[in-house]
Structure 1
């Protein structure tokens, strides 16, 4: 699981690393079928950060808010399709290579004004995974619409990104900050775990 992917540019590097790794591994084996991977692309955190920046920039138009995360993910999925239909990948598939599936992470709705299953309904498509908390899963079971949507309104997604740029949104700056914050949060959690283990070992040694 390659995680904390927020930008299409970072996702480009992730796919390249996966394909390059398969090519390197293929030099030593004829069977690539045991290699499996997902690329975790975060969605709602993008909207939270972008919408905050829009307000700070003086924009309150609903047509700009709450849409960046899905637009970003749809553009990323288009790049996924290009990579895994390329001649380069197809050569690896002949040796059993699996697709590295996009995994949509952070898909619970944070904005109470928006549809609670928005991030689920708009990112349904082949070879994708969607991780969601129980409340979102139950909401989708109750009133979600299950149909392929991932390739719909892709041109609108590119247009929306242009509108955001015109509104002063630097998406690269936002995604870089999200990545830095995400890595720090993971590192802090791991450090806390090690401290708890160390404390527990000390207690057991005393006893």
Structure 2
């Protein structure tokens, strides 16, 4: 293990890789990252599968085997096969950590982001199709997604809640999680191996807020550039600690074996070259969190990351940053609402490309 990845792991951060492809699985690269860089889980999303499935070659054998099926069926078979194979690689980690880690996420069709009933239905279908206890079903934290999160957890299915940008929505996600676990308990499901993470997006916040600060253009505004995302995430961690410590429902569920829904830092690749390439890793180190990293960020962490604790004791400063942004007239809710809408739209665009690429693959291998 590298010194930095071991240190950040020792300080409570679970490193998950934000990428998956058949090439990565079959080449042994995924096993290498587990062995050498403390990787203990994987997340996927429509953009990641778009990149993987656009490659000519790795999926041709399965496409040939499937024949001229409809494109939706083909995509389901290709993606669940990759996730199933990855969960098998991570199964020893899952068992060693009592299923806290060793998780591999697969997302519901992004076109269902505002369809509660259809999201619930597909979550069950994906869970049954992958058929592995260390899988996770990704559901976006739209308003329509919240009841689907509760309903999916109530069936004993592990959930990765994605596209969280605001503290307001994050609190709703925690409430949806606790209600889902309570319903799972009432439904007779063992609670010990039901896992959930709340994927709180980071770097995209700075991209949006920094643009507004540039427009304002004052020295005061420029001094706040690169601070909003980390402050927002640190306040999410403060909320995480507070909610699970104070909610009386949770104490009862925890006594029955339920595991806390951990915050997961997503979108942690640095987009602004002026910032450190490990900024959204090194500045968000604390116990009971996950950081899902693109490989480039993981390699930067391994090479020159810090990995020391960096959240505790920062809450007052984080509140101050948010207050200063508000004083400058920045409507943070408007920013995060737009980021959620843009995030859903981007995933739908990627999914449309997946449909076209896989259809082309079906046609190519089947003459």
Per-residue deviation at 1:133?
2.0
Structure 1 vs Structure 2 CA RMSD: 1.8
Residue in 2 that maps onto 1:146: 307
Cα distance per residue 1:10-38 (max 9 Å; x no partner): 11111111001111111121621121111
Per-residue deviation at 1:139?
2.0
Per-residue deviation at 1:199?
4.9
Higher mean Cα deviation, 191-200 or 44-53? 191-200
The match for 2:196 among 37, 40, 45 is 37
Q: Structure 2: where are the runs of 5+ without partners?
A: 1-159
Matched, 1:90 2:239: no
Give the length in aligned residue pairs. 206
Per-residue deviation at 1:169?
0.8
Residue in 2 that maps onto 1:80: 240
Residue in 2 that maps onto 1:17: 176
Higher mean Cα deviation, 17-26 or 144-153? 144-153
Residue in 1 that maps onto 2:333: 172
Question: 2: distance between equivalents of 1:196 and 1:71?
Answer: 39
Question: 1: distance between equivalents of 2:243 and 2:191?
Answer: 17
TM-score under structure 1 length normalisation: 0.91
8 A contact 1:105–1:130 mirrored in 2: yes
Higher mean Cα deviation, 24-33 or 63-72? 24-33
Per-residue deviation at 1:183?
0.3
Q: 1:117 to 1:199 in 2, by over 3 A?
A: closer
Matched, 1:128 2:298: no
Residue in 1 that maps onto 2:76: none
Residue in 2 that maps onto 1:48: 207
Q: Structure 1: where are the runs of 5+ without partners?
A: none
- Any idea what SS the aligned residue of 1:84 has? helix
Q: 1:91 to 1:115 in 2, by over 3 A?
A: same
Residue in 2 that maps onto 1:189: 350
Per-residue deviation at 1:200?
4.7
- Any idea what SS the aligned residue of 1:103 has? strand
Residue in 1 that maps onto 2:317: 156
Question: 2: distance between equivalents of 1:160 and 1:17?
Answer: 28
8 A contact 1:54–1:60 mirrored in 2: no
- Any idea what SS the aligned residue of 1:152 has? coil
TM-score under structure 2 length normalisation: 0.53
Per-residue deviation at 1:95?
1.5
8 A contact 1:30–1:95 mirrored in 2: no
